Structure 1
Amino acid sequence: MKCIDVDVAIVGAGSAGMSAYKAARAHTDKLVVIEQGPYGTTCARVGCMPSKLLIAAAGTAHVIDGSAGFGIEVAGRRIDGAAVMSRVRRERDRFVGFVLDTVDGWPEAHRLQGRARFLAPGVLCVNDDLRVNAARIVIATGATPNIPAGWRERLGDRLIVNDDVFEWTTLPDSVAVVGTGVVGLELAQALHRLGVRVRLFGRGGRAGPLTDPVMQSAVKAWLQTTLPYSGNASDLDARREGEGIVVEWRDERQAPHREHFDYLLAAAGRRPALSGLDLDKADIPLDDKGIPRFDRDTCRISDTPVFIAGDADNDLPLLHEAADDGRIAGRNAGRYPDVRAETRRTPLNIVFTDPQMAMAGASHGELTSSGVAFAWGEASFADQGRARVMGRNQGVIRVYGDRADGRILGAELFGPDVEHLAHLLAWSIQRGDRVSDALACPFYHPVLEEGLRSALQGLARALRDQAGGSPP
């Protein structure tokens, strides 16, 4: 078996792995990146970018569908599924191409193609014919879709995951979407707006990442009027029937239902892609789910010279978090044993449904479980001026503030284009702004940001009432 010695070995060339490579290379040129699949990152190939391309097409169709409400008649409306998917794939390939250009710019000696697994602490085997002795290792293997046991065997090629959607050459007639997380919500709504018959299945009635009960109620009420939705499906079963599948389930009243679809899209989350790494031979501590125990501020696994970054760590599966993980892990692996904790950015999460969902800073659930004394302010988009002008007056936002000092702690948002409001809030939270600081900033008229001001004003009143006078 051939053998090489390196300072740093990075397993995985996704967003986290690429970021780790750039950071580690600032400290050593004796490193390799090992990738068993195609280069291109999850975001560019099957995640952020192709999904937004599909959502953009769906949004255009929805605008046309709603044009009559503005007194505009659109004749001859037709959705060309082949043309829609041609643009999705074409633009997707363009984004992937940018990533490939970056990888092609790396020295060839830094790129190893193949499957890596641990032989011993600090020792990796690639493709069973190459031994890599690495002084430090970064695990950046990403994540893989969850597929319920037995479904692949029963449904065959009628079972798909989000990766498969973006290889379609046209749109199907019908899709059952199982899972009400970010992927399930985004793709179900997009396909529905593009004329695909969709039913979205969930369990327990929860939909999306928002944790505030008020926000969850708003999301569920919206879903009930947006697309066929079974949020409390039980005894769900799927099987092949002819060229499609049949899904059977019971609703919250235990009434049985049966519906035929072309495909079943499994969107029940993703899990770290760690199987096959033989982590048991790496001498690193694992939790009860088989995930390495690590320090989020250093990305170091216990007191070992092994680091973990991106979706592989099962922490915050978001591109910007993966890139930050990679940067921290790469720096610490590169300059090891000088391991330094780095300040993390304010959490920010966005779901690109319409209305959008977003979270900035601490969530309602996190604040409640932490025991922090907090107040909240709320604003509805139902009568918000700009939202009504656009005919998009749905949703609600809640902003949370510290009762002790008036700092903005977090927010959960559901409404039109709240991606922008969430960014404003995340920046304020990271600066340590108090509610009074945010309200001292300018708000133009008429803009959606006025809805945020209303929520902040409500929060200021709650803090003032608690303080018995002026807010802290």
Structure 2
Amino acid sequence: MYDIIIIGAGTAGIAAYKEAIKHTQNLLIVNHGSWDTTCARVGCMPSKVLISAANRMHDIQTAEKVGLSVTSKIDTSQVMQHVRMLRDHFTNAILKDVNSWTAKHKISGQAQFTNENTITVNGQKYQAKSFIIAVGSTPTFDLQWKEQLGDRLITSDQIFELEKLPQSLAVIGSGVIAIELAQAMQRLGVKTTVFARSRKVGALSSSALQKLAQDEISKNLNIKFETLPTAVQLNTQGVTINFQENNQAQQLDVEYLLVATGRKSYLDTLQLNNIHHSYTDLKKLPVHDTTKQLGDYPIFIVGDAHSNTPIQHEAAHEGRQAVNNCLKYPEIKNLKTLTPLAIVFSAPEMATVGQSFKQLSDAKIEFVTGMVSYEKQGRALALAKNSGALEVYIHQSSRKVLGAELFVEAAEHMALLLAWMISENLTVDEILDKPFYHPTLEEGLRSALKHARRQLK
């Protein structure tokens, strides 16, 4: 019997293995499919390579904004090869690490539970004192559409395998992945149309910032808000999409249809009902919010196998921390929580740090909002990136920073600073005592903090 069996070798599973091997050699990691991570293979890394190319092209084409007259001929024929080349570099580094692990610790195959301490893999039974489940997730799509469209319907798992940039693309969804990929494709010269169920883009909950984001991103990207296809069909060149707009039947022909409407867990492959008969509805699994324990069993589910925030650094953190609970079971502790941090690599970038505007409002927490617009901010004007705004949320009595939402150039950097501020429980007064170099985009953050402080008693 093993001390720990880890199921899944993505970000969370790999992190769990690296932590577990420090404490025991009596462990096993089981994986179905590729022994690398969603992030490196089909997620954050290849998408950022694509976005980098798109943003560089956009900067060249809009050089007049910084007083330059540029005549350029841009060849995009190598973009997808470049994306895959760097993607392979990232995944090969992971696979090299995995290949260095002790061979007897690894099994390739589909794991399924037969009871709370036994799984079968390739017809062989394996038992453990505890389990870490890190099977990850996969994009969702309409199975009937897939049958109709074949390889003309793609998800984020297939888009980076395209040999060349398509002439046209329709994107279903307006969340994080949809907006990142749609905006990048549009900037690379792909005629892109987004179909959005609602008026929301990305993940911002502030109504003011949402409106800014919708208006700004819509300037150069065709988003059909509150409009979804009524039917799709294959044609000789790609896909015909039928939809209703202004009470009129419309058609759109595109080469590919990208579905980016969310992800579903691979937990349904594990036969969890053999652990307990009630574990058939994955949405009602009794997974503890802070320990990640499944029911009363020595089983811990980490990463995006059971999460509303499929974020790489959180998955790795949970994987590492779950090992301690496995080894010390039944004495288990809450996993140390990180300051919530989510970034959308749109242009401008979006970010949410700590508690969002909606979370604070729903919890009826007394806070003030400090806001700054970047339309006239000095450094943003110099960069010709003067759009968007940010908000910071300050607790009225403690004066501590509770959260922030950003829609601004280089939000990724300010979001990290804010996450560290929140994790250190700093007050608005303590932060404003720190240096803010001139001229920087961070000076806008200082303006928002000052705006908030003026509202405090």
Please classify the TM superposition score into its range, dividing by the shorter chain length.
over 0.9
Q: Give the distance between the partners of 2:247 and 2:378, measured in 1 at CA.
A: 42
By how many angstroms is 1:444 displaced? 1.0
SS at match of 2:231: strand
SS at match of 1:198: strand
Give the corresponding residue for 2:248: 255
Return the letter of the residue paired with 2:6.
Answer: I
Given the alignment, which residue of 175, 178, 184 partners 1:181? 175
Give the corresponding residue for 2:264: 271
Q: Deviations over 1:134-160 (max 9, x none)?
A: 211111000110102411111111000
* More moved, 339-348 vs 9-18: 339-348
* More moved, 353-362 vs 166-175: 166-175
Task: Indicate whether 1:229 and 2:229 are aligned.
Answer: no
Contact 2:368 2:394 in 1 (8 A): yes
Return the letter of the residue paired with 2:159.
Answer: V
Q: Deviations over 1:404-452 (max 9, x none)?
A: 2111000000010111111111111110011111111111111000110
Contact 1:291 1:314 in 2 (8 A): no
Q: Give the distance between the partners of 1:94 and 1:338, measured in 2 at CA.
A: 41
Return the letter of the residue paired with 1:93.
Answer: D
Q: Give the distance between the partners of 2:223 and 2:280, measured in 1 at CA.
A: 35
By how many angstroms is 1:77 displaced? 1.7
Give the corresponding residue for 1:98: 93
Task: Indicate whether 1:21 and 2:17 are aligned.
Answer: yes
Given the alignment, which residue of 393, 411, 414 partners 1:418? 411
Q: Deviations over 1:444-472 (max 9, x none)?
A: 11100011011101110111xxx2xxxxx
Contact 1:12 1:33 in 2 (8 A): yes
Task: Indicate whether 1:59 and 2:52 are aligned.
Answer: no
SS at match of 2:327: helix
Return the letter of the residue paired with 1:27.
Answer: H
Give the corresponding residue for 1:375: 368
Give the corresponding residue for 1:297: 290
Q: Give the distance between the partners of 2:23 and 2:453, measured in 1 at CA.
A: 48
Contact 1:43 1:49 in 2 (8 A): yes
Give the corresponding residue for 2:4: 8
Q: Give the distance between the partners of 1:196 and 1:324, measured in 2 at CA.
A: 37
Q: Give the distance between the partners of 2:349 and 2:371, measured in 1 at CA.
A: 17
Return the letter of the residue paired with 1:363.
Answer: S
Q: Give the distance between the partners of 1:215 and 1:207, measured in 2 at CA.
A: 10
Identity of aligned residues (%): 39
Give the corresponding residue for 2:240: 246
Give the corresponding residue for 1:35: 31
Given the alignment, which residue of 382, 404, 416 partners 2:397? 404
Q: Deviations over 1:110-133 (max 9, x none)?
A: 100001111111111112x21111
SS at match of 1:320: helix
Change in Cα spacing, 1:72 to 1:12, as seen in structure 2 (3 Å) is: same
Task: Indicate whether 1:199 and 2:193 are aligned.
Answer: yes
By how many angstroms is 1:331 displaced? 2.2
Q: Give the distance between the partners of 2:428 and 2:339, measured in 1 at CA.
A: 17
Q: Give the distance between the partners of 2:396 and 2:247, measured in 1 at CA.
A: 44
Q: Give the distance between the partners of 1:56 and 1:12, measured in 2 at CA.
A: 30
By how many angstroms is 1:75 displaced? 2.6
SS at match of 1:98: helix
Return the letter of the residue paired with 1:216.
Answer: Q
Change in Cα spacing, 1:436 to 1:236, as seen in structure 2 (3 Å) is: farther
SS at match of 1:399: strand
TM-score by length of 2: 0.97
Correspondences of 1:111-260 after superposition (within 5 Å): 111-127=106-122, 129-234=123-228, 236-251=230-245, 253-260=246-253
CA RMSD of aligned residues (A): 1.5
Return the letter of the residue paired with 2:236.
Answer: G
By how many angstroms is 1:235 displaced? 5.1
Return the letter of the residue paired with 1:112.
Answer: I
Give the corresponding residue for 1:470: none
By how many angstroms is 1:289 displaced? 4.3
SS at match of 1:79: coil
* More moved, 361-370 vs 63-72: 63-72
Task: Indicate whether 1:355 and 2:331 are aligned.
Answer: no
Give the corresponding residue for 2:46: 50
Q: Give the distance between the partners of 2:313 and 2:217, measured in 1 at CA.
A: 28
Count of equivalent residues: 457
Structure 1 gaps of 5+ residues are 468-472
Contact 1:7 1:334 in 2 (8 A): yes
Q: Give the distance between the partners of 1:61 and 1:262, measured in 2 at CA.
A: 22
By how many angstroms is 1:226 displaced? 2.0
Contact 2:340 2:419 in 1 (8 A): yes
Q: Give the distance between the partners of 1:411 and 1:20, measured in 2 at CA.
A: 31
Return the letter of the residue paired with 2:212.
Answer: A
Change in Cα spacing, 1:156 to 1:228, as seen in structure 2 (3 Å) is: same
Q: Give the distance between the partners of 1:71 and 1:285, measured in 2 at CA.
A: 65
SS at match of 2:239: strand
By how many angstroms is 1:259 displaced? 0.7
SS at match of 1:296: coil
Contact 1:298 1:328 in 2 (8 A): no
By how many angstroms is 1:290 displaced? 3.6
Q: Deviations over 1:55-95 (max 9, x none)?
A: 010011001100123332333422322x1111111111111
Q: Give the distance between the partners of 1:285 and 1:430, measured in 2 at CA.
A: 38
Q: Give the distance between the partners of 1:25 and 1:232, measured in 2 at CA.
A: 50
Q: Give the distance between the partners of 2:256 and 2:72, measured in 1 at CA.
A: 29
